Structure formats: C-alpha cells, structure tokens
Amino acid sequence: MTDYPHLLAPLSLGHLTLKNRVLMGSMHTGLEETGDWNRVAEFYAERARGGVALMVTGGIAPNAEGGVFPGAAGLYSRKDIENHRIVTDRVHQAGGLIAMQILHAGRYAYGKDCVSASAVKSPISPFVPRELDEAGIEKQIEDIVTAATRAKEAGYDGVEVMGSEGYFLNQFLVTHTNRRTDRWGGAYENRMRLPVEVVRRVRQAVGPDFILIYRISLIDLVPNGSTWDEVVTLARAIEGAGATLLNTGIGWHEARVPTIATSVPRAAFAHLTGRLRSAVSIPVITSNRINTPDLAESLLASGMADMVSMARPFLADPDFVAKSASGRAAEIAPCIACNQACLDQTFSGKLTSCLVNPRACHETVLTYEATATPQLIAVVGAGPAGLMAAKVAALRGHKVVLFDQASELGGQLNLAKQVPGKEEFHGLVAWFSHEIANLGIETRLGTPADVRDLMGFDHVIVATGVTPRDPQIPGQERAKTYFEVLQGAPVGPRVAIVGAGGIGFDVAEYLVSNGHSATLDPEVWRREWGVGDPAESPGGLREPAPEAPAREVWLLQRKAEKPGRGLGKTTGWIHRAALAAKGVRMLGGVSYDRITDEGLWITRDGAAQLLAVDDVVLCAGQLPERGLYDRLIAAGIMANVIGGADVAAELDAKRAIDQSARLAARL
C-alpha cells in the first residue's frame, strides 16, 4: 500500500492513460539555445526515468515576434523538427510523455517587433507593442497552429498553449491591455475570441489523439484583470474548443504580488483550482508552491485538482515520483523555492540549474560516477558546502567522516531557517541530515577538528565557512552580531542594522515580524500582499493590509545606491517591498561614526545624525575562515578548501553547493 494513492493513480485522457497525476510544469532552462540537443534530451529523459507522468517543455516561440527574447527557441525549420525529435525519442525510450509549450509572449517579447491586442507598454519591458490588425491576428493564429502541427511531427505527445502569466493570449482577455473596439475587443465574448479560436484551430489541425493543454490564468493580480465569472466562461469555452486538460497559471509577470517565491505559502492558490474544477468536465491541474508528495497527495485527495504541476521540484530532484512511489520520500531533494540557481540565472541570460542539485541541466557534464579507488575522506564543516561534498563523495563510494564544531548539521542554514519566509530551509537541513545518515557517513559533531585529528585521512576537504567581518565602529562592543540575534538574543523596540546585504535584509525581516510568519498563515499573507478573490474584485486584487511591525528598524549601508540592489534578480523586489510595507527605513550613503548608549551616530550627506536606537546589529558581510586549511597545508596534508572558507565575498549556498559537488565528483 502506497502513502500516495491519489498521486500515483492513473488518469485516462481517452486516447492514452497517464501513469500518475504528476505533471512537470514548463520551465525555460536555456538548454535549447545551447544547440546541444543531446544535453536537452538527457535533461528530459532523466526526469522521464524518474517516473513523472507528463512533462511540458520550456516555452517554444511560434514566430520571431512572439519569442520571449530575440533568438528564442522556435520550431521553424526541418532541422528544428529533427532536433526536437532527438528529445521526444529519448523521452519515449525512457517511458515518458512530453508536450511542447507554445509560448507567444506578446508585449512581454523583449524586442521592438513585439505585438499585442493594443499598443500598451508593459511595465517590465521598454518596448511598446504594435497593435495587430485583422490580418496580423490571423497570422499569429496560423503560426501557433503551425507550431502545434510541427510539434506533432517532431514526436511530441501534445502541446500546451500558454494562456496565462500575462502573455499574448492573456493580453487579449483583459481591458488592462485590450482596448480594441473590433470583434477582438470590448465585450468579454470578443476578448476571449482569440484564445478560444487558437484552441479550436489547433485541435482541428492536430486531430483527436493528441494532448492539448490550455494554461489558463486563474487570478491575474493586475488592475482590471479577469473576474471569476470570466475565468469560468473562458474555461468552458476552451473545453468546448477541444482542450484535453486545463493547467493553471497564477499572476501576470508584471504583478506586484509574489507567486512562486519561497515566502509564498505552500499551495497558496490551489483553492482556486478546486473552484474551477467544479465548473468544467475536463481534468484540471493545480500549480504554484507545491513541493512535497504529501502536499500534492492532500490536494488531490481533497478534490482540489485532478493533477498537480510541479516545475522547480523536478530541477531539485528528477526522481521525485519514483522516490515517492518506493517509500523513499525522505530522500527527495527539496526545492526551497529560492530561485537562486534557476530563475535568477535564466533572467541573467545563464543556463538554469538548481541550488540543491547542481546536476540540473548539466546531466551530461556533471556525473557522480562510482570511484574505482575508494579513499578515506575527512570533510570539516557541516554547512551547505561540507554537507554536499560529503554526500557526493560517499555516493561515489568513498568512506567519509564529517566534522563540525557545532552539535548539529547545517551551519548557516540553521540561521536562515529562523527567518520568517525562509521556512523551506528546515526541509533542506532535514534532507541533508537524512542523506548523511542514509549514506553511512560518520559524523563527529560538537568538537573542533584540528590537524592532528585529520592525519591518517587520504584527503581533507575544508568547508569551515565564514567569520563575520569586523566593521571597526567605535563602541561596537555594545552591538550584537546577526548570529546572536538569529539565535534568539533579546532586541529592543528600535534597531539599526549595519549592512544591507542578504543577511541584513533577513535580520530586518526577522525583527519586524512579531514571531509570526505570514508564510505559514495564508490568510495573513494574502492580506499583507493585497490578494483578494477574483469573484469579488477583478484580477483578485485588494488593498494590502500589512501587519503592524514588531519594531522600528533602520537598514543601513555605506554605498550611495538604494539598499537591496544586489539581492536576487527575481526576488529582490519582494524583500524590498515587504520591508517597505513594514516601515523599515533603508538608507544608503551612510558612514558609521560611533555607537553610544544613545544609539548609532552616523554621517549622511555631510550631516551628523543620531539614530536613537536600543540596539545595533552588525551584518557587515563575511571573511573566509581558513585557519585550519592554512595549518593543514603547513603540515603537508593534502586538502581542498571550498565554500565560504575559500571565497566569502558574495557567498551564498548556491555557489557553496555547486563548488563542493564539482570537487567531490572529481575525487
């Protein structure tokens, strides 16, 4: 008897049966653009072998004007079709099914040739789209239909027509972006004409035995977005036009509400899928912030959806379904929804990967082969770098001993998990702990390791982490470190934070919250971000009502720029907005003069000023802790140094884990 009877139940789509209820949602990985189709194929095949029922590719453009960026992958030539055939063949050999997403970006296309319903510029693009005329609309429909027939020719099992997230089809649906007065604008039956026509014509072109998923926006989270009645009207029309499945999308890309970041409550929007499910007859797929088999199972069991879509969790662990099905759910590497190695990289023009799984999208180049010469390896430091190095080395057959002076595994991950909105770090530490035990890695915790403890090992990996930078502010003995604060040291009602990097922001979040994380309380979270019900207000927006801050906080840095510029590309705005909503005053261009009993004296714009605070918290960055490494080298012991102990500047768990996995893969 499985723990996940609903998750693992088959689903008949008529012409074929899906083996379970799990869909790998579309992700733009950047792999197609490398031109290495073997690598693309291996990415999907590894996930097909891991048991997922159906996968959706990253968005493929139907034409040049609809590409998310110039040169975005499309299916234009015979050669393109042959390349995609490499992928579909490999997936089918692995026992999987795969649908190609057709993504027309409309006004989100990053190029001067972008087109839309009306010439309304998006706030996230510098380009004003060209308003399409009748012939132009017909061309877009034809191009989408052609992309679908080519997908079929390339061996795909279906297509997903992207109709959510504020892309082209979504732009026709709402008056926010559709100001037309012809048969494609005005009344809702006109505004929905395009998506319905697209689905009807795609179905006509591909025939009945082909999966056709339509991704519908359940809650736009933009002004003048769709009402719930409109969503239901569209869903029924899409069903009538021949869709097999309705996948769901949440929020436009320009929405000022986070929808997938780690601070979003798990399954925060699944209730809307449940509501839609009762209004249509075809299977409905739920999505957003679902990352464990238990959560997916409970959503299906409670009738919220027929299938669950997870995307990033399949970067973190391709074997999510196989492990769930074989009683090994604790072995699933958890997606912590950080976006650091996936979306942040994608939006920086880099290949996607995953913080907890550096092999993601590097399947053919980073492999963990069994070693022919097992060694006795010491890993010193059980933070993210040390944990990953120990795991990969042991996986490959080395005998590993893991040392840490702390009495628990996790290093700075244990600080991160104290921050409201970063609760997913608990799961990451639990997973690492499980893996360390499961792989038979010996742990020696609670005592510092020194040179004489490390003699007799074939190899030593030093992952001793970082030490806080000393900002040398006169009177700083009155201040507290972020370590002390995140470990629970008492802090007064007025606080100044020295340093506005990742940790300064985290400490500010911690201090303004009253010990209650909105991430764990969806109703509070919705109020804070102004998420309402699309049945009550178009687009599901309402006036944000943040909880009162627990403290008055100043967040300071010396650089003259706006604090928070160096935070994650796709999540920095969330941190800045969350703190601004709590009244945190963020100041750049500060110099620190002294700390006295009265507070923190600073100079800004040439004027001295007292911030009358009860506490000052130092978050001034880090320096490598590499004393042990230097002593080992002096003693002639073979060692490698990784993570923060190697380079502390701009260290994050992504770099630490990636570096350690690559080292351990070579030993």
Which parts of this chain interact with ligand NAP (CB under 6 A)? 412, 415-416, 469, 471, 498-504, 506, 557-559, 619-622, 650-652
Nearer to ligand SF4, 83 or 340 (CB): 340
Residue pair 120/129 in contact by the 8 Å Cβ criterion: yes
Q: Which does 415 bind (CB under 5 to 8 A by kind): ligand NAP, ligand SF4, none?
A: ligand NAP
Closest distance to ligand NAP from the beta carbon of 552 (Å): 20
Q: Write down how long the chain is.
A: 667
| Binding piece for ligand SF4, criterion CB under 6 A, among 92-100, 180-188, 354-362, 508-516 | 354-362
Q: Does 416 bind ligand SF4 (CB under 6 A)?
A: no
Neighbour count for residue 253 (Cβ, 10 Å): 17
CB of 578 to ligand SF4, least distance (A): 18
Binding partner of residue 238 among ligand NAP, ligand SF4, none, CB cut-off 5 to 8 Å per kind: none
H or E element that contains 554: strand 552-556
Measured from the CB atom, the residue of 384 and 534 that comes closer to ligand NAP is 384
Asked if 355 touches ligand SF4 (CB under 6 A), the answer is yes
From the list ligand SF4, ligand NAP, none, which binds 337 (C-beta under 5 to 8 Å, kind-based)?
ligand SF4
Q: Is 482 a catalytic residue?
A: no
Torsion of CA 43, 47, 48, 51, to 10 degrees: 170
What is the CA 297 to chain-centroid distance, rounded?
21
Nearer to ligand SF4, 236 or 662 (CB): 662
Min CB(29)–ligand NAP separation in Å: 23
Whichever of 162 and 429 has its CB closer to ligand NAP, that residue is: 429
Q: What residues contact residue 107 under an 8 Å CB cut-off, 6+ apart?
A: 114, 115, 116, 120, 121, 122, 125, 127, 129, 168, 171, 177
Contacts of 442 (CB under 8 A, 6+ apart): 400, 401, 402
Taking the C-alpha atoms of residue 497 and residue 481, their distance in angstroms, rounded to an integer, is 10
- Point out the residue whose Cβ comes nearest to ligand NAP: 501
Spell out, one character per residue from 279 to 318, where the chain touches ligand SF4: x when CB under 6 A holds, - when not: ---------------------------------x--xx--
How far out from the chain centre does Cα 489 lie? 31
Q: Does 356 bind ligand SF4 (CB under 6 A)?
A: yes
Choose the contact partner of 290 out of ligand NAP, ligand SF4, none; CB within 5 to 8 A by kind: none
Q: Pick what 412 binds: ligand SF4, ligand NAP, none; C-beta below 5 to 8 Å, kind-dependent.
A: ligand NAP
- The interface with ligand SF4 within residues 358-377 (CB under 6 A) comprises none
397-402, Cβ contacts within 8 angstroms, sequence gap of 24 or more:
397/370, 397/371, 398/371, 398/374, 398/667, 399/374, 399/375, 400/439, 400/441, 400/442, 401/376, 401/377, 401/441, 401/442, 401/443, 401/444, 401/457, 402/436, 402/441, 402/442, 402/443, 402/444
- Our CA angle for 536, 540, 544, nearest 5°, is 105
Picked from ligand NAP, ligand SF4, none, the partner binding residue 621 (CB below 5 to 8 A depending on kind) is ligand NAP
In the complex with ligand NAP, the residue whose CB is nearer, 343 or 500, is 500
3-state secondary structure 156-194: CCEEEEEECCCCHHHHHHCCCCCCCCCCCCCCHHHHCHH
- Judging by DSSP bridges, how do beta strands 399-404 and 11-12 pair with one another? unpaired
How crowded is the C-beta side of 63, counted as CA atoms within 13 Å?
18
213 in helix, strand or coil?
A: strand
**Which of ligand SF4, ligand NAP, none does 355 bind, CB closer than 5 to 8 A by kind?**
ligand SF4
Which residue in the block uniquely carries the two structure tokens 């979504």? 170
Rounded least distance, CB 344 to ligand NAP, Å: 10
| Minimum CB distance to ligand NAP smaller for 15 or for 562 | 562
Which of ligand NAP, ligand SF4, none has residue 402 at its interface (CB below 5 to 8 Å by kind)? Answer: none
Closest separation in Å from C-beta 506 to ligand NAP: 5
Region binding ligand SF4 by CB under 6 A among candidate stretches 33-41, 76-84, 349-357, 528-536: 349-357
Q: Decide whether 356 or 387 has the Cβ nearer to ligand SF4.
A: 356
Total residues at interface with ligand SF4 (CB under 6 A): 14
If one counts every other C-beta atom within 10 angstroms of the C-beta of residue 312, the result is: 24
**Residues of span 178-197 touching ligand SF4 by CB under 6 A:** none
Whole-number minimum distance, CB 589 to ligand NAP, in Å? 9
- Shortest reach from residue 157's CB to ligand SF4, in Å: 24
Q: How many CB atoms lie within 10 A of CB 370?
A: 9
354 touches ligand SF4 by CB under 6 A: yes
Token digits for 394? 């042991």
Q: Could you tell which of ligand SF4, ligand NAP, none binds residue 549, using a CB distance below 5 to 8 A set by kind? A: none
Residue 611 token pair: 């911030």
**Whether the Cβ atoms of residue 228 and residue 534 lie closer than 8 Å to each other:** yes
Instruction: Work out what residue 652 binds among ligand NAP, ligand SF4, none; the CB cut-off runs from 5 to 8 Å by kind.
Output: ligand NAP
CB 498 within 8 A of CB 613: no
Q: How far apart are CA 325 and CA 48, in angstroms?
A: 14
User: Between 250 and 341, whose beta carbon lies closer to ligand SF4?
Assistant: 341
Residue 506: contacted member of ligand SF4, ligand NAP, none (CB under 5 to 8 Å, by partner type): ligand NAP
Return the SS3 of 540. Answer: helix
Report the nearest approach of ligand SF4 to the CB of residue 316 (Å).
5
| Residue 211's binding partner out of ligand SF4, ligand NAP, none, with CB under 5 to 8 Å set by partner kind | none
Query: 313-342: which residues touch ligand SF4 (CB under 6 A)?
Result: 315-316, 335-342
> Which residues have a Cβ under 8 Å from the Cβ of 207 and sit 6 or more positions away?
none
CB neighbour list of residue 664: distance below 8 Å, 6 or more residues apart = 368, 388, 389, 390, 391, 392, 393, 396, 461
Judged by beta carbon, residue 29 or residue 557, the one nearer ligand NAP is 557
Rounded to whole angstroms, the Cα distance separating 89 from 548 reads 56
Nearer to ligand NAP, 237 or 503 (CB): 503
Least spacing, CB of residue 462 vs ligand NAP, in Å: 18
Residue 353 C-beta: closest distance to ligand SF4, Å: 7
Of 159 and 361, nearer to ligand SF4 (C-beta) is 361
Distance (Å, rounded) from C-alpha 71 to C-alpha 65? Answer: 10
Q: What's the Cα-to-Cα distance from 530 to each of 236, 265, 388, rounded to whole Å? A: 28, 14, 39
Q: Which two tokens stand for residue 178?
A: 């559709």
| Residue in the structure block whose two tokens are 């929808």 | 259
Candidates 108, 156, 167, 482; catalytic one:
167
Nearest approach, Cβ of residue 333 and ligand SF4 (Å): 8
Single out the segment in contact with ligand SF4 by CB under 6 A; choices: 151-159, 208-216, 352-360, 501-509.
Answer: 352-360
Our CB check for ligand NAP shows the closer of 267 and 415 to be: 415
* Residue 386 CB, nearest approach to ligand NAP (Å): 14
Active site residues: 167
Residue ranges in contact with ligand SF4 by CB under 6 A: 312, 315-316, 335-342, 354-356
